[in-house]
């Protein structure tokens, strides 16, 4: 009793109060997504949901609930004039008024969660007398259902990147690395990179860059450890462009390490199978890396680019494929790609099929900021998927197998 009174007096003297046990958690406004797209609203990494003016744009928050039970929801928001918004979760919805002034927390609804899983909280604009429906600082959840709840606390709204890692037979050098990609219709979301042939110095695949532009992209990293600005890379550590194909754009890049970048604008289509080929030629302390893409409309291989990498002198190692969501705005949208028929060719001319892959993922997955990702093997292909707020079906280190085709690639490269 004396100890409890002492702690109370000490807390009061410090200007605070003894903390009460609470289950309340706050989903930050900067983790929200806009549906169907981020128009008529801004989702700021600093200020959360702001400038929400369009009634046709819904705001969505996501969380994973592990413990069934009662859940209370409140919203911390403000508006420039009187407005009404509708909030729904777990089949329950309620329309509330947002009064003008500073941010204030408003209780909204209570529901009973019966099943563990992902839950979506949706905000819809109903009416407004001012410019905006609401600026939203956070959604607050409270009650027994918040025990072990998971949500992304960071403004990084991309989903987890996922990878397939291939291991050639021991003692075999990789002069050529061949692979194929097929993207199901509807899974070719903007801001997605489907990468077929990755190796220790670079990567080669295809991207969806906008509603009107898609690319075949090939990049090779400089030597050294400069993380952002290529101006800080010494000339002797820089990758140099040796050749590129017609209409291919080549430049340097930074921001994710530095190096040489190339891309060809090409309207690849979902449902079609596309073929990729990497070639490596060690030369002293450097290696020449060359990427070729098979253009089905022309029935021929196209040179994308050839880069010379310093401080290398090796054939390709650390072979992998990946699926990446590089857009913040639609990091809630499911995407999937099939990766298959990977082969290597040794300097001695031996083709070897790669039928086993090990699954890995990135820091976003390892930190458990996102739980919606996976991969596996089906219909003779490996596959990877990310986002959509559906349960994971693979974990770090899982291994997948696909049936061997036994048919090595038939490749006739162009002559220069």
Give me the pLDDT at residue 158, please: 97
Give me the pLDDT at residue 415, please: 77
Average pLDDT of the chain, as a whole number: 93
Question: Closest Cα partner for 394 from 403, 402, 386?
Answer: 386
Give me the pLDDT at residue 1, please: 34
Domains, the chain, ordered by start: 21-146 (2.60.120.260), 162-401 (2.60.120)
Question: Closest Cα partner for 384 from 342, 336, 340?
Answer: 336
Give me the pLDDT at residue 36, please: 95
Q: Residue 188 in contact with residue 208, Cβ under 8 Å?
A: yes
For residues 224 and 237, give the distance between their C-alpha atoms in angstroms, rounded to a whole number: 7
- pTM of the predicted model, to two decimals? 0.91
Query: Which residues, 6+ apart, have CB-to-CB distance to 96 below 8 Å?
Result: 75, 84, 85, 86, 87, 106, 108
Distance of alpha carbon 336 from its chain centroid, rounded? 11
Q: Residue 375 in contact with residue 382, Cβ under 8 Å?
A: yes
Quick check: helix, strand or coil at residue 65? strand
Phi, psi of 205 (to 5 degrees): -170, -150
Would you write out the chain's pLDDT as a tens digit for each of its 416 residues?
333 333 333 333 333 322 233 489 999 999 999 999 999 999 999 999 999 999 999 999 999 999 999 999 999 999 999 999 999 999 999 999 998 999 999 999 999 999 999 999 999 999 999 999 999 999 999 999 999 999 999 999 999 999 999 999 999 999 999 999 999 999 999 999 999 999 999 999 999 999 999 999 999 999 988 999 999 999 999 999 999 999 999 999 999 899 999 999 999 999 999 999 999 999 999 999 999 999 999 999 999 999 999 999 999 999 999 999 999 999 999 999 999 999 999 999 999 999 999 999 999 999 999 999 999 999 999 999 999 999 999 999 999 999 999 999 999 998 76
pLDDT digits (tens, 9 = 90+) for 61-101: 999 999 999 999 999 999 999 999 999 999 999 999 998 99
pLDDT digits (tens, 9 = 90+) for 247-285: 999 999 999 899 999 999 999 999 999 999 999 999 999
Query: Which residues, 6+ apart, have CB-to-CB distance to 261 below 8 Å?
Result: 217, 218, 219, 250, 251, 252, 253
CB atoms within 10 A of CB 303: 19
Give me the pLDDT at residue 293, please: 98
Give me the pLDDT at residue 17, please: 27
For residues 52 and 133, give the distance between their C-alpha atoms in angstroms, rounded to a whole number: 6
């Amino acid at each position: 009793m004396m100890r409890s009174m002492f702690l109370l007096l000490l807390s009061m003297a410090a200007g605070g109060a003894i903390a009460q046990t609470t289950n309340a958690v706050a989903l930050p406004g900067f983790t929200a997504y806009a549906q169907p797209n981020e128009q008529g609203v801004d989702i700021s990494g600093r200020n959360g949901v702001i400038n929400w003016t369009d009634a046709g744009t819904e705001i969505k928050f996501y969380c994973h609930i592990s413990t069934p039970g009662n859940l209370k929801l409140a919203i911390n928001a403000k508006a420039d004039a009187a407005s009404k918004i509708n909030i729904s979760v777990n089949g329950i919805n309620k329309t509330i008024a947002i009064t003008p002034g500073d941010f204030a927390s408003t209780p909204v609804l209570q529901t009973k969660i019966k099943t563990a899983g992902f839950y979506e909280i949706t905000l819809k604009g109903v009416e407004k007398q001012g410019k905006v429906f609401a600026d939203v600082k956070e959604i607050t959840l409270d009650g027994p259902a918040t025990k072990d709840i998971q949500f992304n606390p960071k403004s990084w709204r991309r989903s987890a990147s996922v990878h397939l890692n291939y291991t050639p037979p021991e003692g075999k050098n990789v002069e050529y690395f061949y692979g194929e990609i097929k993207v199901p219709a509807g899974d070719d979301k903007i801001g997605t990179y489907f990468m077929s042939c990755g190796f220790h110095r670079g990567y080669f695949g295809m991207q969806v860059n906008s509603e009107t532009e898609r690319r075949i992209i090939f990049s090779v990293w400089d030597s050294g450890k400069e993380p952002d600005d290529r101006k800080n890379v010494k000339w002797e550590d820089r990758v140099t462009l040796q050749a590129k194909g017609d209409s291919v754009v080549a430049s340097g890049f930074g921001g994710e390490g530095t190096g040489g970048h190339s891309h060809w604008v090409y309207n690849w289509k979902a449902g079609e199978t596309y073929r990729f080929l990497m070639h490596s030629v060690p030369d002293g302390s450097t290696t020449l890396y060359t990427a070729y893409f098979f253009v089905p409309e022309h029935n021929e291989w196209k040179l994308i680019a050839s880069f010379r990498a310093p401080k290398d002198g090796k054939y390709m190692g650390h072979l992998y494929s990946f699926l990446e969501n590089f857009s913040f705005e639609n990091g809630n949208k499911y995407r999937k790609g099939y990766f298959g028929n990977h082969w290597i060719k040794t300097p001695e001319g031996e083709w070897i099929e790669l039928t086993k892959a090990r699954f890995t993922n990135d820091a976003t997955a390892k930190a458990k900021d996102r739980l919606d990702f996976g991969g596996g093997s089906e219909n003779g292909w490996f596959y990877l998927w990310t986002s959509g707020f559906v349960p994971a079906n693979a974990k770090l280190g899982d291994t997948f197998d696909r049936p061997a085709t036994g048919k090595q690639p038939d490749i006739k490269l162009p002559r220069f």
